[in-house]
Amino acid sequence: MDIDRELNKEQAMAVRCTNGPVLILAGAGSGKTRTIVYRMAYLIGEMGVAPWNILALTFTNKAANEMKERIRDMIGERAGTMRVGTFHSICVRILFTHAEKLGYPPKFEIADTTDQKSIMKDVYKRLGVDPKRYPEKITINKISGAKDELMGPEEYASFAGMDFALKMISNIYTEYQKTLFSNGMMDFDDLIMNTVRLFNEFPEVLEEYRERFKYIMVDEYQDTNTSQFELIKLLSAKYRNLCVVGDDDQSIYRFRGANIYNILNFEKYYPDAYVVRLEENYRSTSNILDAANSVIKNNSERKPKALWTKEGEGEKIRYRQLDDAALEAAFIADDIRSRVSKGEREYGDFAILTRTNIQSKELEDALRIRSIDYDVVKGLKFWDTKVIKDLTAYLMTVDNGINEMRVRRIINIPKRGIGNASIDKISVFSRANNITFFEALSRIDNIPSVPAKTKAAVRSFYEMIVRIRKEGRDMSFSAILERIIEECSYLDYLLSEAESSEKYREQKEYIAKLKETLDAYEDETDEPDLTDFMRINGLEGNNLDKEGGDDPKNKVLIMTMHNAKGLEFPEVYMAGMEEGLFPGYASINSDDPMAVEEERRLCYVGITRAKERLTLTGARRRMVNGETRYSAASRFIKEIPGKFLNLNQAVEKTERRERIAPSNREAAHRYFEEKPPAFSTLKKGSDMEKKLPPYKEGDRVLHFKFGEGTVLSIADGGRDYEVTVEFDNVGVRKMFAGFAKLKLL
């Protein structure tokens, strides 16, 4: 192992510094894992440290397994006795040996999410807690956060004080822990908290593991929480051979309990710590790195460092600001398709990063319309999310009720006491009588084996659907959707099922996006039909011929910036670079100055995912919860010096106060008439300039959303020319030329 030849100077220094506390500040793409693996191999091969005296802690099993394999490749089977694993897996091993000291059985069970939910339901019944006021999943999440901070039931009770809501959570927490303990169980969060408790209450056990693990290494140290910090501190206190590796500039998991001050204050806890900075980047071009450095240096709470590379400058970072989210998505999709059609890239070379999951909807539409294969990483595609599948099933049932699968999906959502056995009996009855499943619901009294209580619930469901169907004849699709949500208390159902208040807010945003999509469809279509709406959005089967081919890896990837951490791509698009979205209003308006700093770190992570080409995009206006929001360019764009940017316009021209237009269409029309946005390219009513389109019947044209098609006819529609186009993917559409902005091919 020739360290000086195989590693750079700073990496070699980190490897050779083996005794005492060591902080390795490893910038993005700086060879962090390589350095860790070489350091462990050096300890064993050159320093003579016994493999079983080394403990390496990671955050994921994937990272642990990769580390084990790479060490085994270097030093062979000697690596087998090293302990490399996640915090939780290491704690499980310790507790299985010593759990009896804490009163647990030696083979205690670990409660999974199903067990937790079952126990919590029982606790709620005993305490008479209203699950609508204190949703069970949110309560479990709060208890998890308390355990991350090493707050047991007694500590949490002191923390709650006289706050009524916190006192209720405290009472639930106490009863929940009693139930777990009486059943010989620990939940996932108990594993670290109880290991810390074991070490504090039984010094002889702590001494045993201090002697066992004389050299400790921690990966991704910036993501550690309070309980993990305390566990590491206890284990390393005797020999103090603690090496932590991380990057404070990539600390983006505060919402999961990560405490950035664990890494920022490392030298405060260990004044004699040796600090090594890994700043040479092996991933990105210098323009990308310089942009990342320019953004992150605006954070006050960080350790100074700057990424650099021996690679060339590369292309400048492109910034494009489009009028709205649909045009932003169309620009990205067209740009990707153009690169691939020229043979410059494959689809698998591209990643589109978003700040929030809800942004993926327009991007998915743009890619699907262009027959570009894609995947949403660590998340469902917009139309595959539970909330959207539930509500579109409701809409189609109100529309016709023909599809049995859709009716079966929603008949007990929210819960109405209609069990699977009764649903199956209804299905059998419908087939026997050659009628649809929905029609069978109207004859529920003719199915004798269904319990009376269930029959009443089925009748209530059927009558609700028929009532909405009748009243909805003169309503817009989005109004029908609103009526469905209200009639069946769907929002209450979502709240009761949500894991956190943030998840509930996200689901409400999905509903708002569905309403927006329904309104847009009705505006653009002469004879709107829900079945047609479902078809053009790929909900009646995805039969498009994808240009991406059958290779599952040859797909454009859409993911949030949080999910992109640790990944890299030749080409990256960061979408939604506007104030109010990134950084979000919650961070901008927060009393906590660290809120925007975490957003800036997330931007830094996004930028450093790109290897060769980075494109930043934003929208001047975007629909948010049913309202049109006008936003300036993100402050993060303005923090990148112009010399690193390829601009389609000066950033300064986009700096305007955010305005919210009324969601009511008539009021919105008046708003634009009285006070049109200075940067708007749209003109309403009589202000629209009527021009003969540059295409004729039979010409091939391109629509930013519907894709390519053939012009069937052009007619004078009064204020504008009405164009009828047969699109390849969505069929015939009529539209005004001024709004359609069809491009002649």
User: What average pLDDT does the segment 412-422 reach?
Assistant: 93
Q: Mark out the alpha helices in 381-539 (DSSP H runs).
A: 386-399, 404-410, 420-432, 437-441, 452-471, 477-487, 490-497, 501-524, 530-536
**Is position 220 annotated as part of the catalytic site?**
yes
Whether residue 664 has pLDDT greater than 70: no
**Is position 346 annotated as part of the catalytic site?**
no
Q: What is the CA radius of gyration of the chain?
A: 30
Q: 170 is written with which tokens?
A: 């405290």
Q: 583 is written with which tokens?
A: 């950084």
How confident is the model over 327-385, as pLDDT tens digits?
999 999 999 999 999 999 999 999 999 999 999 999 999 999 898 999 999 877 888 88
Whether residue 562 has pLDDT greater than 50: yes
Contact assessment for residue 43 and residue 54, using Cβ atoms and an 8 Å cutoff: yes
Considering the candidates 11, 32, 324, 370, report the single residue annotated as catalytic: 32
Q: Cis peptide leading into 135, omega within 30 of 0?
A: no
Cα four-point dihedral sign 534, 537, 538, 543: positive
The residue ranking higher by pLDDT, 113 or 144, is 144
Contact assessment for residue 7 and residue 38, using Cβ atoms and an 8 Å cutoff: yes
DSSP run (H or E) holding 397: helix 386-399
Total Cβ atoms within 10 A of residue 98: 18
The residue ranking higher by pLDDT, 107 or 116, is 116
For the chain, give percent helix, strand, coil, nearest 5.
50, 15, 30
**Is position 240 annotated as part of the catalytic site?**
no
Considering the candidates 600, 609, 611, 621, report the single residue annotated as catalytic: 609
Average pLDDT taken over every residue of the chain: 88
Considering the candidates 148, 175, 189, 220, report the single residue annotated as catalytic: 220
Q: 425 is written with which tokens?
A: 């009996």
How confident is the model over 456-514, as pLDDT tens digits?
999 999 999 999 999 988 889 999 999 999 999 999 999 888 877 788 888 999 999 99
At residue 744, φ and ψ (nearest 5 deg) are -70, 130
Q: 230 is written with which tokens?
A: 């305390």
Q: What is the pLDDT of residue 667?
A: 36
How confident is the model over 123-137, as pLDDT tens digits?
999 999 999 889 998
How confident is the model over 187-225, as pLDDT tens digits?
999 999 999 999 999 999 999 999 999 999 999 999 999
Of 493, 488, 508, give the one whose Cα is nearest residue 132.
Answer: 493
Whose tokens are 């590491």? That residue is 232
Considering the candidates 11, 195, 250, 454, report the single residue annotated as catalytic: 250
Q: What is the pLDDT of residue 549?
A: 43
Q: What is the pLDDT of residue 106?
A: 85
**Is position 219 annotated as part of the catalytic site?**
yes
How confident is the model over 228-267, as pLDDT tens digits?
999 999 999 999 999 999 999 999 999 889 999 999 999 9
Contact assessment for residue 295 and residue 45, using Cβ atoms and an 8 Å cutoff: no
Report helix, strand or coil for 301.
coil
Identify how many contiguous H helices and E strands the chain contains and give both numbers. Answer: 32, 22
Q: What is the pLDDT of residue 527?
A: 82
Considering the candidates 18, 33, 436, 724, report the single residue annotated as catalytic: 33
Q: What is the pLDDT of residue 743?
A: 85
**Is position 279 annotated as part of the catalytic site?**
no
Q: Which residues pair with 578 in a beta bridge?
A: 633
625 vs 495, 515, 517, 599, CA distance in Å?
A: 17, 9, 12, 21
**Is position 32 annotated as part of the catalytic site?**
yes
Question: What is the DSSP secondary structure assignment for residue 76, as one 8-state letter?
Answer: G
What pTM did the predictor assign? 0.79
CA 301 distance to own-chain centroid: 25
DSSP run (H or E) holding 317: strand 317-324
User: What average pLDDT does the segment 34-44 reach?
Assistant: 93
* pLDDT grade for 681, boundaries at 50, 70 and 90: very low
Q: What is the pLDDT of residue 719?
A: 67
140 vs 74, 172, 256, CA distance in Å?
A: 43, 9, 13
Total Cβ atoms within 10 A of residue 357: 21
Total Cβ atoms within 10 A of residue 609: 24
Q: What is the pLDDT of residue 690?
A: 66
Q: What is the dihedral of CA 717, 720, 725, 731, to 10 degrees?
A: -80
How confident is the model over 595-625, as pLDDT tens digits?
999 999 999 999 999 999 999 999 999 988 7
Considering the candidates 219, 349, 365, 720, report the single residue annotated as catalytic: 219
The residue ranking higher by pLDDT, 739 or 72, is 72
Q: 421 is written with which tokens?
A: 């056995």
Q: What is the pLDDT of residue 523?
A: 83
How confident is the model over 438-449, as pLDDT tens digits?
999 999 999 988
Q: Cis peptide leading into 153, omega within 30 of 0?
A: no
Q: 520 is written with which tokens?
A: 């847009």
